[in-house]
Amino acid sequence: MATQSLILQPGGYKMPLLGFGTWKVDKNSTADVVYKAIEAGYRLLDCACDYGNEVQVGQGIKRAIESGLVTREELFITSKLWNTYHHKEHVPQAFARTLSDLGLEYLDLYLIHFPISLKYVPMEERYPPEWGNMEQDPVPVHETWAAMEELVLGGKVRNIGVSNFSAILLMDVLSYARVKPAVLHIEVHPYLNNADLIKFAQSQGLQVTGYSNFGPASYVELGSPSAQAAVPLFKEERIVKIAANHNKTTAQVILRWLVQNKVAVIPKSNDPARVAQNADIFDFVLSEEEMATINGMNIPFRLNDPGVYANIPIYA
């Protein structure tokens, strides 16, 4: 499978434009799903403590390496620091647990999952800690970031970055970072194209990974009323027409739109045929008119908003 990469700064490492997401992948099938994704050609795996399946992701990775499908150096593994581990003394603890669960010696990218710090939950009490009762315990981002930097300086992770950060929070990190963030990880789909934030991040030398690439589809199964009421992107008439022009699926068109905007994508599926199909996005190009059509679909419609489900309005 032909794929493309983005160069991360400051280290110069390559991050694949196409990755495989592990959010909401059931524990019972995760190892097999991850193995099959690697078999299909995916080299970036997007993980997180909060997803509750890093042990199983690690099993899939181990199987792929031991069977000769891939080497560790050919993979790009991302994980994320959860909200309950923002104090400087908890960052290395959380990182070590993720590394152990994945069965790896290093990570390619470690992200602060949210600019939200919640009360610490000991691992022996509950892991993953999840959102719990949303009890906040404010920790300045600079404290957390300094601890993240120590992971890089100690050789445990190659790149660090932030997830779900606004432009102003990103400016704050950039003002004091010894090790600059390499990646901004945000919700991006045609209903929320985040064009200004992406442009700003890229202007500052960061690469961008977009999650929830298919918009409402990712949240319907979670019972989100707004997602259930929205027109599915797979059935959106303008995208359907563009897909027909290229003899591609609507999912492939959405992913192609993102990578042409130099945004890395992390679709996920439990269906092997769909996994392979989602990877087949590098043999066609959307025209400027088609790109403009999809760009013009921005509402904006944010689906992953802690202000709605956790009463923590980080985007207010």
Active site residue ranges: 51
CA–CA dist 271, 43 (Å, integer)? 18
- Helices H / strands E in the chain, number of each: 13, 10
134 Cβ contact partners less than 8 Å away, ≥ 6 residues apart: 118, 310, 311, 312
- Say which residue the tokens 């010696």 belong to: 105
CB neighbours of residue 1 within 10 Å: 12
Strands 5-7, 14-16: parallel, antiparallel or unpaired by DSSP?
antiparallel
Two tokens, residue 191: 């209903």
The H-assigned helical ranges of the chain are: 27-39, 54-66, 91-102, 141-153, 167-176, 195-203, 217-220, 225-229, 237-246, 250-260, 272-279, 288-295, 306-309
- Say which residue the tokens 């419609």 belong to: 301
Q: Does the annotation list 113 as a binding residue?
A: yes
With CA atoms as reference, report the closest residue to 315 among 179, 233, 174, 197. 197
Which residues are annotated as part of the binding site? 113
Which residues are annotated as part of the binding site for substrate? 113
